[in-house]
């Protein structure tokens, strides 16, 4: 009995090994040739979260364009990509586009690419201003401008940066444009009031913008400042 069981066990192991080898051979031969293969990859954001619906494109040496779109897990694949230097273009609305160049050498290669969205760039710019890293803040705001030239939050941050760098006149001019547009905010009006009252010695304009801020949002400190300026 033990001998029979052992023979059956060995036969089962041999069958398993054969199936495994056939499976691996099939997997290795599918989707690639000696000159190219299916290119696989994944797109993720600053928080290492997969990014879906990213358009991924590759232009071959013969000008053939191939493209794919990342799935809910951030994964994508492009068939029949030639081995050698490859440049992929990644694009999605409200994300900074990425051109990624690398050497494609194996069908087992997986290409990971990080993309940054608009909110992430804005957060990084605000953080750089807070840390007084003017060069980083300016660079981030330039990147945002290329992505979305009319972004009001970026314009506000640009004004804050100018004020922190000692250019209150330029900061006020930029904020006045934002204030004149439809949809001004408490932050815009309050920052203008601060600039006019504390940096530019123009209390009348400070009072005007304090009242505009108070019309948007109740604030006891703003009320006290208005009262003090009206008594001057």
Residues 109 and 128 in one domain: no
- Which of 97, 114, 131 delimits the end of a domain? 114
Residue 20: inside a domain: no
The region of weakest confidence among 57-61, 97-101, 226-230 is 57-61
Q: Does the pLDDT at position 47 exceed 50?
A: yes
Q: Does the pLDDT at position 13 exceed 70?
A: no
Residues 96 and 129 in one domain: no
**What are the C-alpha distances in Å from 18 to residues 11, 13, 22, 142?**
10, 9, 6, 59
Residues 108 and 147 in one domain: no
Dihedral sign, Cα of residue 97, residue 101, residue 105, residue 110: negative
Please report the pLDDT score of residue 19 as a whole number.
Answer: 30
CATH number, residue 73: 2.60.40.10
**What are the C-alpha distances in Å from 178 to residues 33, 58, 164, 185, 225?**
58, 40, 18, 9, 23
Please report the pLDDT score of residue 14 as a whole number.
Answer: 36
Residue 179: domain span: 118-230
Residue 18: inside a domain: no
Q: Does the pLDDT at position 136 exceed 90?
A: yes
Residues 85 and 155 in one domain: no
- Which of 56, 88, 114 delimits the end of a domain? 114
Please report the pLDDT score of residue 11 as a whole number.
Answer: 38
Strand partners, 50: 44
Q: What is the mean pLDDT of the segment spanning 54-79?
A: 90
Quote the percentage of the chain above a pLDDT of 70.
84
Residues 92 and 139 in one domain: no
Please report the pLDDT score of residue 132 as a whole number.
Answer: 97
Mapped to the 3 state alphabet, what secondary structure does 87-129 carry? EEEEECCCECCEEEEEEECCCCCEEEEECCEHHHHHHHHHHHH
Structural domains in the chain (count): 2
Give the HSE-up count for residue 167: Cα atoms under 13 Å, Cβ half-sphere. Answer: 11
Q: Does the pLDDT at position 15 exceed 70?
A: no
Tens-digit pLDDT profile for residues 164-195:
999 999 999 999 999 998 889 999 999 999 99
Residues 99 and 123 in one domain: no
pLDDT band at 162 (very low <50, low <70, confident <90, very high): very high
Residue 14: inside a domain: no
Over the chain, what is the mean pLDDT? Answer: 87
Residue 9: inside a domain: no
Residue 5: inside a domain: no
Question: The pTM is what?
Answer: 0.76
- Which of 60, 94, 114 delimits the end of a domain? 114
CATH number, residue 166: 1.25.40.10
Q: What is the mean pLDDT of the segment spanning 57-76?
A: 88
Residue 25: inside a domain: no
pLDDT band at 18 (very low <50, low <70, confident <90, very high): very low
């Amino acid at each position: 009995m033990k001998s029979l069981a052992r023979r059956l066990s060995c036969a089962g192991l041999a069958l398993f090994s054969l199936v495994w080898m056939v499976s691996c051979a099939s997997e290795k031969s599918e989707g690639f040739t000696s000159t190219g293969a299916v290119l696989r990859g994944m797109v993720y954001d600053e928080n290492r979260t997969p990014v879906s619906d990213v358009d991924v494109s590759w232009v071959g040496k013969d000008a053939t364009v191939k493209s794919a779109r990342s799935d809910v897990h951030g994964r994508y694949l492009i068939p029949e990509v030639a081995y050698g230097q490859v440049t992929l273009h990644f694009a999605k609305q409200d994300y900074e586009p990425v051109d990624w160049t690398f050497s494609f050498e194996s069908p087992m290669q997986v290409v990971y690419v990080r993309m940054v969205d608009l909110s992430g760039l804005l957060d990084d710019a605000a953080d750089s201003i807070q840390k007084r890293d003017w060069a980083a803040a300016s660079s981030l705001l330039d990147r945002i401008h290329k992505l979305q030239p009319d972004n009001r939050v970026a314009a506000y941050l640009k004004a804050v940066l100018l004020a922190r760098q000692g250019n209150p006149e330029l900061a006020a001019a930029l904020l006045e444009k934002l204030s004149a547009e439809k949809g001004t905010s408490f932050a815009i009006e309050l920052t203008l009031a601060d600039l006019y009252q504390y940096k530019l010695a123009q209390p009348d304009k400070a009072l005007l913008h304090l009242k505009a801020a108070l019309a948007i949002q109740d604030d006891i400190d703003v009320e006290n400042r208005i009262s003090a300026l009206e008594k001057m």
